[in-house]
Structure 1
Amino acid sequence: MDQQYHNLLEQQCRQIGLELTSEQYQQLLNYHALLIKWNKAFNLTAVRSPEEMISRHLIDSLSVLPYIDVERLIDVGSGPGLPGIPLAICRPDLPITLLDSNIKKSRFQFQAKAELGLDNIDVIHERVEKYTPEVLFDGVISRAFASLQDMIHWTSHLCSDEGIFLAMKGMYPVEEIALLPESINLRQSIRLDVPGTDGERHLLKLGRTSL
């Protein structure tokens, strides 16, 4: 079964143009195994199928990897560490903060950080509006917010003036973009091809409007 998961992961990584090291594949599979184990007791994700977890969680997270061009990233509403942990595995040079207010999910993140030896991860258990980092981030990413307006509203205090907001969405959110405040503009929209999943996936890059 482990080999089956490895083959599926490697195949789908190649489909999205990623060539990883054998160590990175193994770390991703170790994270996958932890997610399966903890999900049985703590209901970390509604996805139950191990095969679906690879495509809908690991590959979906890694699909944005080529577009992460920041020096410090915070994953807001990270849940079980998505997309932050897969990104951290594949970008050991990038400091990533995982932020979530759910104690069970934060405990899982701490466990994954320890077991996988991810020194580039910081785990913060806190409500987003109460978290005040000492240094602002130049990248804020989330795949969990209901709307772009909510994401900007709740995370703007975390992002530097020149930083970008990376919103992982399904269908292209025309109405949400139209409702963005004048202080925020859409810098780039990227259509993502995520094998093993149905429906559209997009990455939206948002930034503050120049004065």
Structure 2
Amino acid sequence: MMDLKTGLEMLALESSGERILKLEKFIGEINLWNPSYGLIADGEDIVGRHVIDSLSGLELIRGLRPGRLADVGSGAGFPGIPLAIWMEDVEITLIERSGRRSGFLRNAVLTLGLDNVRVLEKPVEDADGGEGGFDVITFRAWSAVDDNLLDSLGAILAPGGTIAAYKGRRDIIESELKSVSRRLSSKEIRPLKTPGTGDERHMVMLRISD
């Protein structure tokens, strides 16, 4: 199991202060709720596989300068809640269709005092991007990159916005992208540094043509 402070230091992120206290509290909430709610697999390394993995994409997402970000299929709050702890100036919406998981997310947001986060208990097909849509939409382990995904997310994505998906092996990503017929104005596959896990991780960054 990875130590939180060590993982943050390996990502060159601050490993003390209010942010790490919030992360520790968040991990505590997951451990408390997990036996009843099945948020993550039993025995899974919360820090390495979830917290550090979520934060591995922080600088790429920051570089997009989002005002509004959506985490789709948020589940246990990854990557949305760790990102929200580091991006206090960004309005973040956690979209989760499960009532039980949405209940956990609402409790976590309240417990951590995350004023920049709201929870939307809906399938993404019924979600409302609000006026102008989301500047960035992100997700982990939620969907393959295909035309159905682009149709669903395109409906709530702001013009010129970016889909930033946490994914695994590059060859699998490239295979998924070959199946996409919808026109993309840009696509990038960027490697992610995930210290201590040994996993091959990438972020797929897509912009849909108008």
Counterparts in 2 of 1:21-36, with a 5 A limit?
21-36=16-31
How many aligned residue pairs are there? 203
Give 5+ residue unaligned stretches, structure 2.
none
Counterpart AA for 1:156: G
Separation in structure 2 between the aligned mates of residue 179 and residue 207 of structure 1, nearest angstrom: 16
Q: How many Å apart are 1:21 and its aligned residue?
A: 4.6
TM-score by length of 2: 0.91
1:46, CA displacement in angstroms? 1.3
After superposition, what is the alpha-carbon deviation per residue over 1:124-182, rounded to whole angstroms, capped at 9, x for unaligned? 00011011232211111011333111431321101012100011101111111112224
- The one of 138, 153, 164 equivalent to 2:162 is 164
* Corresponding residue of 2:193: 193
RMSD: 1.7
Identical-pair percentage: 32
Q: Is the 8 A contact 1:189 1:202 kept in 2?
A: yes
- What secondary structure does 1:129 align onto? helix
State how far apart, in whole Å, the 2-side matches of 1:140 and 1:181 are: 20
> Does the aligned pair in 1 maintain the 2:94–2:118 contact within 8 Å?
yes
Give the Å deviation of 1:32.
0.4
Helix, strand or coil: the match of 1:148? coil
The answer to whether the Cα contact below 8 Å between 2:139 and 2:165 also exists between their aligned partners in 1 is yes
Contact 2:129-2:157 at 8 Å conserved across structures: no
CA deviation digits over 1:184-205, x for unaligned, max 9? 2543221112122132100011
SS of equivalent to 1:180: coil
Task: Report the Cα distance in structure 2 between the residues aligned to 1:20 and 1:183, rounded to whole angstroms.
Answer: 41
Could you say what secondary structure the match of 2:108 adopts?
helix
Q: In structure 2, what is the equivalent of residue 57 of structure 1?
A: 50
Q: 2:184 is aligned with what amino acid?
A: I
Query: 1:155 is matched with which residue: 153, 156, 181?
Result: 153
Q: Where do 4+ consecutive residues of structure 1 move more than 6 Å?
A: none
Aligned residue type for 2:18 = E
What 5-or-longer segments of structure 1 have no aligned partner? none
